[in-house]
Every structure is written in structure tokens, then in C-alpha cells.
Amino acid sequence: MNEAKNIFKTVGLAAVLFAVVGWVGSIGSLISSIDAFGKPVDPEAPYFVYVFLAMSLGNLVYNIFLFRCGLELIGLNASYVSRFSNLLCFQIAYFFGVSTLWMVPAGIGMSVAGATGVGNMGVALQWTTLFPVWALFLIKLAAKKNSQPMEPPEVVA
């Protein structure tokens, strides 16, 4: 049981750190590309700005949920294990979904491809380290090892 608690806390801490780094990446990407919004649109990628904004804002929201789930895992709140797992599954599906959208014709695919690098700065480090994959594996392993419901530690006054 202690091993499971340690895994929950470690993965929760990693989630909080990745979320903070993700916020910095998303906000930095948004700030650095403000001047590009007034420039002429590339005819091969006419929807770039819209896709970029959607990706950047989506990453900000994702990282808010990741931060919250991480805090709850650190606090050993068992109800967040399934929420965290679902969030990681969503992130994995998002990664493959965006990659699939590159192949869409009529400028949409090129817009998505062009925005993927700069629009996904909020999750870039997570994917570089494969965080959604190993965190999902570890959290499921810990949930399986955890035979009793987790209770927060007692506070002695």
C-alpha cells in the first residue's frame, strides 16, 4: 500500500511540474507570436492563426486540469485516479488526432501542420518525455496495487 501511495504522489508531483512548464510554454508561445497575427496569411495554410490559437488555448486548459489532478494525487484523493487516467488518454488521443489532421486537404492540413510545432508548446515537454504514456501505466499499476481506499493523512493539532 505504501508503494502505491508513493507512486500516486510521485506521478502527481510530475503532473504538477509538467503543468507549470506547460503554462510557461503556452503563454510564451502566445506572447512571442502576437506580432504574426497582423501579417498576411500564407495561402497554403490559411487557417494557421485559428488553429494556433485553438491549440495554445486548449493546451492551457489541459494543463489546468493536469495541475488539479496532480494536486489531488499528491493529496491521495482516490476519486481523481480515474479523472487523471481519462485526461492522459485524452492527451494521447489528441496527439494522434492532430497528426491525422495533417493529411486533410484544402489548406486545413497545412494549417494544422504549421501550427503543431508552435501551438503545442504547452505539451511539448510532456511528449518529449512520453509523460502521458508512462504516467498512465504507473497510475494504473498503483491503482491495482492499492487494495484499500486511500485516505488522506490525519492532521494532528
Other Cβ atoms within 10 Å of 64 Cβ, number: 13
pLDDT in tens, 55-81: 999 999 999 999 999 999 999 887 888
CB within 8 Å of 37: residues ≥ 6 apart: 49
**In angstroms, rounded to a whole number, what is the distance separating the alpha carbons of residues 49 and 36?**
9
CB atoms within 10 A of CB 36: 11
How far is CA 45 from its chain centroid?
A: 25
Is the predicted pLDDT of residue 129 greater than 70, yes or no?
yes
For residue range 15-52, what is the model confidence (pLDDT) as tens digits? 999 999 999 988 888 887 777 666 777 778 888 888 88
Give the model's confidence band at 148: pLDDT under 50 very low, under 70 low, under 90 confident, else very high. low
114 φ/ψ angles, rounded to the nearest 5 degrees: -70, -35
Contact between residue 123 and residue 20 where contact means Cβ atoms under 8 Å apart: no
